Amino acid sequence: MVIYVDIFSFGNFIVNLFLLFVLVKSLGIKMNYKKCLLSSSIGTVYALLVLYSNLNIILSNLLIKLIVELLMVAVVVGHKNLMLLLKSSLLFLSFTFLLAGFMIFIEINGKSTIYLFIYRIRATDIITGIMILILILDRLYYFLKERISTTNYIFEIEINMFNKCIKINSFLDTGNELKEPITNLPVVLLEKDLIDDALIDADKCYLIPYNTADGTKGTMKAFKPERFAINKDGNFMEKEVIIAIADVKFSKENEYKALLNKALLI
């Protein structure tokens, strides 16, 4: 029997990824595709070593198999919670046995090949294709859901500053509760590339203290614009705000270049 490395690797990788997908859904934890891809790759490399390496007798040992399976699960669910890791490993093994049993059943009792129009296709290839389709549809569903959710929080804003007017998209950041300590005005964060902070008069400059979720502390240079307005349902509403200059990029796709304070739309 001839086994092609590329076909074997791809099929093994997809099966590993699908089993991890089912595991994550069963546990009700958030799907981390990077971790699942890494874990699937570990399983595929192991399978290739068993198939083609001179150490296949050692690597085929049951204890080694369990260690690799435990490592794959640990990559996805973490290793700090021992009970969760053991539970996840048992579930993963159960799903693996069920899938293997189903494949064997098809090979023995069903038709191992199916004719689709004029093409002769193996039943196992069709099952692999279904796995790929499920993975793609799941990713597409969450991508569209995230896009729709993000769109609902994007607002056009208009800022008059330093004798010019800019119109940009902004994102309503529900975690942005920054307020300027003296005026108590809400703070809107603006990307640094939109403004030359050298234009801010020293006597009109504010320093906004901030704390991030990772414990980082610091201050941002800020100023009060001549005019600030938010487009809500086609109408621009003027608001009093403080604009803080952030040395970060808020959106990789440039969908928005400012973060609104949630107090502005309450």
Catalytic residues: 173
* Spatial separation of the C-alpha atoms in residues 16 and 36, rounded to whole Å: 9
- Cα–Cα distance, 154 to 150 (Å, whole number): 7
C-beta of residue 242 within 8 angstroms of C-beta of residue 185: yes
Distance CA 84, CA 69 (A): 14
23 vs 76: CA distance, rounded Å: 10
User: Cα separation of 191 and 159, whole Å?
Assistant: 13
Q: Using CB atoms within 10 Å of the CB of residue 146, give its burial: 0 to 12 exposed, 13 to 18 middle, 19+ buried.
A: exposed
Rounded distance between C-alpha atoms, residue 128 and residue 125, angstroms: 5
